Structure 1
Amino acid sequence: MKQHYQLQQHVPTEKMPLGIVHIQMGQSDRKVFHDHNHSEIVVVPRGTGIHLMNGKEAEIKTGDLLVVHPGFVHAYDRVETLEVINLIYDAQRLYLPVLDAGQLPLFNTFFPVNARAARCTAEPLLTLSPPDLAKVMGIIGRMKRELSSNQRGCCFYSLALLMEIIVLIGRLREDEGEKEPIPFRIGDSLKYIKTHFQHTVSVEQLAKDAGMSRRSFFQQFKNVTGCSPIQYLIRLRISRAADMLRQSGLRINEIAYQCGFPDSNYFCKTFHRQTGISPRQFRQKNRNGS
């Protein structure tokens, strides 16, 4: 029988949707298939085991790193020596300052545009070398201490530590050469979108400037970012709008206009579709420090 785990079991509702679950050696449930209402980055600090997902199984070992998103059912086997650390988070409610993070390998794997874009497999994403594993474990240790503290700025610092882990992993993946570096022409398109996101962006013009057909441009763009140009633009606009809702006293219609939305109604609908709450609710929650 499948079990369902919830983020609220591990993270207080008044805090941001980020937590750490440490499962000691041999304490993982054997062949207990389950899913979650949150995403998790799984790090194997030591031991070996079997990861089961999508009808497949893969051996996992010290240094391996996996990702599991909501709706994906998985389990572990041969857990006698297996130790895992789960970084659990709600990818739709963690409002990261995306900036150029979309250029990092694996960023869109950890933070898919929506549930349909999420991809998970039984196999590890990559294997960390002992020195790199030690670096990641050191950051996780600092994050765990911050999340359990009541010091001012603990949530802010914990989020910064998560971003440090994402950058470290992304750069390691790029160094491994397992993924092609970002094509130069798509990189130029990303830069253009980031500097003109508040204006109308023509996909046809982007494709023309990149010297590609519209169809080829779409495919290459998705290969690099994990989403379509329009999805990328919307995600960027919502990210900037979230920053402005947190940091400014501007009216919602002014924020909508400055982030490239034609009117506040469309902005509110899009924001709710992407985040699950309205801009007004988001601003109120952040003003309350939750």
Structure 2
Amino acid sequence: MGEAEELQLQIMVQEDKEANASQHTKDVNQSPLPRSRNCMWWLQMALYAVFILFGQSVATLLGRLYFNNGGKSKWLATLVGLVGFPILIPYYFISPHKHPTTTVICTKQPSALKLTSVYVSLGLLVAANCYLYSVGLQYLPVSTYSLICASGLAFNAFFSYFINAQKFTAFIINSLVLLTISSILLVFQNDSEGSNEVSKGKYAIGFVCTILASAGSGLGLSLTQLCFQKVLKRETFSVVMDMIIYPCLVSTFAVLVGLFSSGEWKDLNREMNEFKKGKVSYLMILIWTTISWQVFKVGLVGLIFE
């Protein structure tokens, strides 16, 4: 009888060990970041980062090429950065059900009036930022322009602190210090590149406009996050896409109004005919600038969602 009880006890201990091992395996398999997904996640992040770096760099260089060869329309330079947003629409049909939904704070849908106000406000802010960026690109060398644009990180941290309650970390503070020093040095820089012959007054205008655009860009990101938290209260794939496409639609319409109300559209045909590189180059620069900015936005959408 004692041997039978000892054998039963051994069987129970063995079953308990197997149950614990099974539970441990189940917990590992249900961890939020499995090993296979971890590898794919980093690969996606790298791809999206390449899209952002490649798209923004190419679009900036093409924009500078447009102004250097006879392009003068700031409204047109702004429009090509926005008008290509329909290229993002197919994202709605790329297996949206495979993308998980983040925690839903509230199931109640915001009213149409509230959504419209959000889209219009952000769209007008985007239009203003893009126009200021175009002014800065017209009057500044590419190197100076790119360094000033990097100050958007500092503005993003500033607005995130007050609007989104973002805490400052050692990495953020280090970035702010470096960007502040570089911006101060640019103020005292004597432009010796020779490729952008503008007066000191126009140089100052370009500098100020680029700073304001960077500030507006940082403000826009913080307001977008605030809208997700306070208005939309969910971050599904379709909602993220809506927050990209609808403001782009509003900003495109606003820039078109500016293009026609300013009268610059009347000179576009003459501008194309007098373009130093020829008509074909003129059109190709505008087309590839549009595509490059959309490559940038694809990377941006990917990073926002993932």
Tell me, yes or no, whether TM beats 0.5.
no
Q: Of Structure 1 and Structure 2, which has the larger fraction of its residues in helix?
A: 2
The two structures have a TM-score, normalised by structure 1, of: 0.24
Q: Of Structure 1 and Structure 2, which has the larger fraction of its residues in strand?
A: 1
Instruction: Give the number of the structure with larger relative contact order, counting CA–CA contacts within 8 Å between residues 6 or more apart.
Output: 2
